[in-house]
Chain A
Amino acid sequence: MNKMKNIYFDYQATTPVDPRVLKKMMPYFAEIYGNPHSRNHSFGWEAEEGVEIARERVAQIIGANPKEIIFTSGATESNNLALKGVSEFYGDKKNHIITCVTEHKCVLESCRHLSGRGFDVTYLPVQSDGLINLEELKNAITDKTLIVSIMGVHNEIGVIQPLEEIGKICRSRDIFFHTDCAQAVGKIKLDVDKMNIDLMSISGHKIYAPKGVGALYIRRKPRVRISSMISGGGQERGMRSGTLSPALCVGLGEACHIYLNEMDKENKILQKFKKMMLDGIRKACPDVYLNGSEKSRVPGNLNLSFAYVEGESLMMGIKNLAVSSGSACTSASLEPSYVLKALGVEEELAHTSLRIGFGRFTTENEVRYATKTIINEVLRLRELSPLWEMAQEGVDISKIKWAHH
């Protein structure tokens, strides 16, 4: 059984490039190599054409106009540009930002950067299901609120925030709504008009395009202005200077285009895999908890706490399954996940969590094998666990006075 090759279950960390995407990209390395910003010859025009078709395709999947899309190096840059760019442009009029404690580090760190420069930042808490409370959002808004930044789909726990409702609230108060949709594009239906989204960050490598490319949607009607972060030749309508990589842009465009036709089909398969694994594990192991809402969630993500079994030892036991852990022991910081903490997951349970991600190239056999492997290892480690033993004896572990070290 240990002979099976390594299997990838970490699709929220990154995805492989879809071969169809790669095929579309290939000519843009050595054949169509012109600078897409060269206006004077066919080499430039051809490269530009590829980029513009890609732009249309990115726009299409979120219901935007191609003129509202600029290419970036990835969602981290897009999030930085959205938050810092808007804040710098409008900062003398409004200086309050609302975001959420479970946002990606690049959003939180951008906010922290801004709070050192005269901005007030409100970090909304999340409910135990990982979703924000809309009333709390409404209550946090002041006359000074410039922008609200809430992600679409969560990278660790896969929950889907109520974007349409958030958008409605923001629009009614004349506040910009930015959403980090790195994990949402292709997974849920997005419509920037229906959802009143003003800025949206998009990532390539989470959706089977290469690493190193992303996009930022910036609404034109009503217009959102941003200050650029990179000075240079004024490419991307002056908002993001630097020569684009046509190959990467084409890759992102193609990845979006594939989802346009295949999203529903893919989601159905992933839903089936998720159910298979979750039902299988729950049937065989008691005391397993799903972190984050079960309903408002993308099918490609399971974040599970296996009570009484420490996450890193579990990962060691299932070492041919590439998953990630919410446990402290796998990181340098020795702190369990700030996201699970924000959900109110107790520290001892946070230490027992795994994130299992499915995707386009996951097979049913792999899911079946992984389910079996995880169950076997959880049961084995529970036999080793003094906490499991105490729980079986009816000892309340929370009542014991532990010596923290």
Chain B
Amino acid sequence: MAYSKELLDHYENPKNVGSMDKESEEVGTGLVGAPACGDVMKLQIKVNKKGVIEDAKFKTFGCGSAIASSSLITEWVKGKNLDEAHSIKNTEIANHLALPPVKIHCSILAEDAIKAAIEDYKKKNRKNR
């Protein structure tokens, strides 16, 4: 399969690999996918008092497209507020990386992951109020 330069770059030099303390109140964690399906994405965001995403980290088990999709979305969400991050569409990721049709699900997974992370952050902070 021929992949775009963008995709290969994110695969070879992925941005924002790592983990944050999932117990921290500032951190929202999204874990989506399933090992049996061949991809699992863990995406974490650190949100400041103004509701802006200060930092994002990921770890992904999956094909090159899945790794690249998660790397890209962590880049994109940094500096955005939660609503802006929530509105990122998988098609934007797919277009940017020129994902082949059979790999579109990787971009959907990335969208799901950020939404799950935002949800987790909101849930935590609702409880604490």
Chain A positions within 8 Å of B, measured between CB atoms, are 308-310, 312-313, 316-317, 327-329, 332, 334, 336, 346-348, 351, 383-389, 397, 402-405
Contact = CB atoms under 8 A, between A and B. Distances in A.
Contact of A386 (B14, B41, B64, B102): B41
B33 A313 contact: no
Interface of B: 3, 11, 14, 17, 19, 31-42, 59-64, 66-67, 102, 105, 109
A405 B105 contact: yes
A151 B63 CA distance: 32
A191 B67 CA distance: 50
B42 A327 contact: no
Nearest to B70: A384
B64 A313 contact: yes
Closest 3 CB pairs of A and B: A402-B34, A348-B35, A386-B42
A332 B34 CA distance: 19
Contact of A405 (B19, B33, B42, B64): B33
Given A383-B17, A386-B42, A309 B61 contact: yes
A175 B19 CA distance: 61
B17 A384 contact: yes
Most chain B beta-carbon contacts within 10 A, residue among A310, A334, A346, A387:
A310
A309 B66 CA distance: 12
Contact of B63 (A312, A332, A402): A312
B19 to A, nearest CB: 6
A243 B93 CA distance: 56
A84 B38 CA distance: 38
Given A327-B38, A348-B38, 16 more contacts: A310-B38, A310-B39, A310-B62, A310-B66, A328-B38, A329-B38, A348-B35, A385-B60, A385-B61, A386-B59, A389-B42, A403-B34, A404-B37, A405-B33, A405-B105, A405-B109
Nearest to A347: B36
A341 to B, nearest CB: 11
B94 to A, nearest CB: 16
B35 A313 contact: no
B61 A386 contact: yes
Contacts of B41: 386
Contacts of B63: 310, 312-313, 316, 327, 329
A386 B34 contact: no
Contacts of B62: 310, 313
B105 to A, nearest CB: 7
A334 B39 CA distance: 12
A346 B38 contact: no
Given A313-B11, A405-B33, A386 B60 contact: yes
A130 B39 CA distance: 26
A88 B86 CA distance: 63
A405 B111 CA distance: 14
A384 B59 contact: yes
24 contacts: A310-B63, A313-B11, A316-B11, A327-B38, A328-B38, A329-B38, A347-B35, A351-B35, A351-B36, A384-B17, A385-B59, A385-B61, A386-B31, A386-B60, A388-B61, A397-B35, A402-B33, A402-B34, A402-B36, A403-B34, A404-B34, A404-B36, A405-B33, A405-B37
A403 B34 CA distance: 6
